Amino acid sequence: MARIPNTYLDVFPLCLGGNVFGWTANEQQSFDVLDAYAAAGGNFIDTADVYSAWVPGHSGGESETIIGRWMATRGTRNDMVIATKVGMAPGLKGLSATTIRAAAEASLRRLEIDRIDMYYAHADDPDTPLTESLHAFDAVLREGKVRYIAASNYTAPRLAEALAVSSREGLARYIALQPHYNLVHRSDYEGELRDLSTREGLACFPYYGLAKGFLTGKYRPHTRIDSPRAASASAYLDEHGLRLLATLDDIAAAHHATVAAVSLAWLMAQPNVVAPIASARSVEQLAELLPAASLSLSPEDLVRLNTD
């Protein structure tokens, strides 16, 4: 377990993404994945109120509902650290005070819990003053509905401004960020955002840790994979991507590990990263990810991955 800086939360070094629950994994499949994750010692689940509104006939909240039912059925609430998000669900877009309160109450109902452990602003809302959003987050935190707040998809300048507002007005402060970050998508985090998180002591929880499946190693030239993410993952099959896959293959073989585990272990070794987020729609997929939690890459491995 790893302590999230500036909190009392100890979390498993691999965060289980809930975006597939109710989408590519039905309720029973989701329960199976959650059972296997918990059995392996996992305790950190990431979801959002918008998951999975993009599916025809869905309205958002399906993932939260499944996670809530699972915790209620298994009696695992006190063992889990639950992170969810506000700002991108149909009818609850943005970060106005009204939206934050309504969305928090709705997430609590679906998750069947009385407090959200980590509540993210899912994306920056330039149309709402930061003071309004942060006062609203502060209010639900002081009421005990939320333990900590965090930011996803913020630029470094806007995140710095939000932290300054919290300090100036004595409001709850973002304690973590969730950026798009992985071996083939590094520019969003490395640079200003990483420097800011280091300076301010923020934890980093990267999403798309496996580049929509590309970093599992399953997507190769002339290989057809039946997955909703196949087109997105295959977009990385350029010269750089193929060179990186070859390096991942070598390192995975040396460690008797999967390519996915090596990709996630690389993320775990990066500055401020407490736990990367990765999802699995089956127990078999999860089994490929879990070894990352105990996989220690050598300095030579990291140099190779950083340069390829």
DSSP symbol at 292: G
Is 154 noted as a catalytic residue in this protein?
Answer: no
Residue closest to 14 by CA, chosen among 295, 298, 227, 216: 295
Our CA angle for 290, 217, 204, nearest 5°, is 50
Angstrom distance (rounded) from CA 262 to CA 293: 10
* 3-state DSSP percent of the chain in helix, strand and coil, to 5: 45, 15, 40
Q: Which two tokens stand for residue 246?
A: 């070859």
Residue closest to 243 by CA, chosen among 304, 190, 284, 298: 304
From 37, 51, 154, 174, the catalytic residue: 51
Q: In this structure, which long-range contacts are made by residues 34-38, counting pairs with CB atoms below 8 Å and at least 24 apart in sequence?
A: 34/67, 34/70, 34/74, 35/74, 36/283, 36/286, 36/287, 37/286, 37/290, 38/74, 38/76, 38/79, 38/80
Question: Counting every residue, how long is the chain?
Answer: 308
- Helix (H) or strand (E) segment spanning residue 31: helix 27-39
Bridge partners (DSSP) listed for residue 150: 120
Peptide bond into 52 cis (omega under 30): yes
Catalytic residues: 51
